[in-house]
C-alpha cells in the first residue's frame, strides 16, 4: 500500500489537500479497505479496460462499495478505465454500461479513460477530483 499526498491551489482559501492510498484490488485485501473509509471524500476506482472477463467482479465490488458502505455515501466517485493504450480496451462508454454506472444517481461521479503507463488523462482525472472537492469546501471567509 502506498500513500501519496497532494496539495493543490495557491491561496489558503482555495487550497485542496489530498491524501491518497493505493489499495490493492485482490479479493484477500478488500476487507482491509474499510480501515480507510473514515473521512473519505473521494474514491478513485481503477478498472483494467482491456480485461473484460473481470468486469462482472469489478461491477459487483464497486456496486457493493456504493450501496453498502455508509462512510462512503458522500464521497465523489472517479472511475478510471485504465489501459486505453492497449488493443482491445473497451471505451469509457462501454465500461459505464458494464459497471451499471448509469444507475448511480446518489453521488457525483464520472468515468474517464486513461493510461497509467503513458500518463494519458491522469492530470485531467486528478483535476476533476480536485475541482469536485473544492466545490464542496466552504470558502475560509464565508
Binding residues for GTP are 25, 82-85
Task: Report CA 52 to chain centroid distance, whole Å.
Answer: 19
Annotated binding site: 25, 82-85
Catalytic, 28? Answer: no
Task: Report CA 89 to chain centroid distance, whole Å.
Answer: 19
Say which of 26, 60, 63, 131 is annotated catalytic: 26
- Determine the Cα–Cα distance for residues 120 and 118; give it in Å rounded to an integer: 5
- Catalytic residue numbers? 26
Amino acid at each position: 500500500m502506498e500513500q501519496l499526498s497532494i496539495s493543490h491551489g495557491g491561496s489558503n482559501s482555495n487550497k485542496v489537500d489530498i491524501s491518497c492510498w493505493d489499495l490493492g484490488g485482490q479479493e484477500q485485501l478488500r476487507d482491509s479497505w474499510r480501515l480507510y473509509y473514515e473521512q473519505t471524500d473521494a474514491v478513485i476506482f481503477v478498472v483494467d479496460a482491456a480485461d473484460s472477463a473481470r468486469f462482472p467482479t469489478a461491477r459487483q465490488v464497486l456496486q457493493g462499495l456504493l450501496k453498502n458502505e455508509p462512510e462512503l455515501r458522500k464521497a465523489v466517485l472517479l472511475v478510471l478505465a485504465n489501459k486505453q493504450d492497449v488493443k482491445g480496451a473497451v471505451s469509457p462508454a462501454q465500461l459505464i454500461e458494464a459497471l451499471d454506472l448509469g444507475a448511480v444517481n446518489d453521488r457525483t461521479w464520472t468515468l474517464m479513460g486513461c493510461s497509467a503507463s503513458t500518463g494519458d488523462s491522469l492530470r485531467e482525472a486528478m483535476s476533476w477530483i480536485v475541482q469536485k472537492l473544492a466545490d464542496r469546501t466552504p470558502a475560509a471567509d464565508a
